[in-house]
Structure 1
């Protein structure tokens, strides 16, 4: 039931499509979404990475099944790969990723700064990450969203990301998307 609501609530769809648009996914990109829920953003990522690869992990088997149904054609075409696992048990990716997306999931991660460091190691130099937060606590306000954005910025900074910026989507409550880049490789 929760997956159906997440997939069909207009604000959830709007938030996911907006977040994907901010990542500037290119046709050949290799992208990972962490905590993909019913697969709305996975579908949007696959529509943009038409010659690339889209990976998704989620800790809920139910969400893997729902996202699998939503993305059947891309899975059959071997462009989308979904796994039932958690962020602290990442599968192996043969090549570096170009972009990573996490919508409303960082708050559930064990030791999020360490997880972000691991994710940074999976990104190519100058690879992009987007962490999205739309607070769902009772009485959430624009200030609640701003605090969540500052926390995400701090975590990304501590994990070694650079060029951190915040974008906001005017929903109720507002959505913050904190974007950052992996530093370029050190010269040898």
Structure 2
């Protein structure tokens, strides 16, 4: 029973890193090869251009934030995360781009103002944990310019996850984006174990 409780607490740290356990979870997320491949791949699918303004929801240790900053060299990169530990870690990881990134400790249902419309939004492995995902996605669509892009990615981490689990996750993300009013939806897959699904959509023009 005690081992089960400890395991659940550690799993919880990957959902909401806090304290020393959160720092350990953040280190694991930052150094796991599959995490880096997944994040770099999702950013590449968004085809971010140098002058664009982009937002990542739930940036964790900041791997994708760094990739976005490397592409949006004349633009602005925003990030929101509900973990203060991850804000600290991601800020340290990306300090070389500090003048072009803004990382905020907040939840997806309390988004700050970004001043002007965004060009792209992404979220990797966290949309399923949002409160009322369709409502959150409608809010994000309202923050995007007409024709702005969104990418939601999922690599299932449940025991026994396989290609079928990933396919079901992709359908769920596609349904959420459809409900929120996004169009031109497409699904891409990265062959990891289990595979990663990324569903991309466009804010109607």
**TM-score normalized with structure 1 length:** 0.96
The aligned runs of 1:12-161 (5 Å cut-off) are: 12-75=35-98, 78-161=99-182
- SS of residue paired to 1:98: strand
In the alignment, structure 1 segments of 5+ residues that lack a partner are none
Cα drift, residue 170 of structure 1: 0.2
In the alignment, structure 2 segments of 5+ residues that lack a partner are 1-23
Matched, 1:168 2:189: yes
Structure 1 CA distance, aligned partners of 2:38 and 2:28? 14
Cα drift, residue 183 of structure 1: 0.3
Cα drift, residue 52 of structure 1: 0.3
**TM-score normalized with structure 2 length:** 0.88
Structure 2 CA distance, aligned partners of 1:183 and 1:60? 32
Larger Rg: 2
Structure 1 CA distance, aligned partners of 2:188 and 2:125? 15
Stretches (4+) displaced over 3 A: none
Greater helix proportion: 2
Structure 2 CA distance, aligned partners of 1:2 and 1:28? 33
Q: Deviations over 1:42-91 (max 9, x none)?
A: 0000000000000000000000000000011211xx20000000000000
Structure 1 CA distance, aligned partners of 2:91 and 2:115? 22
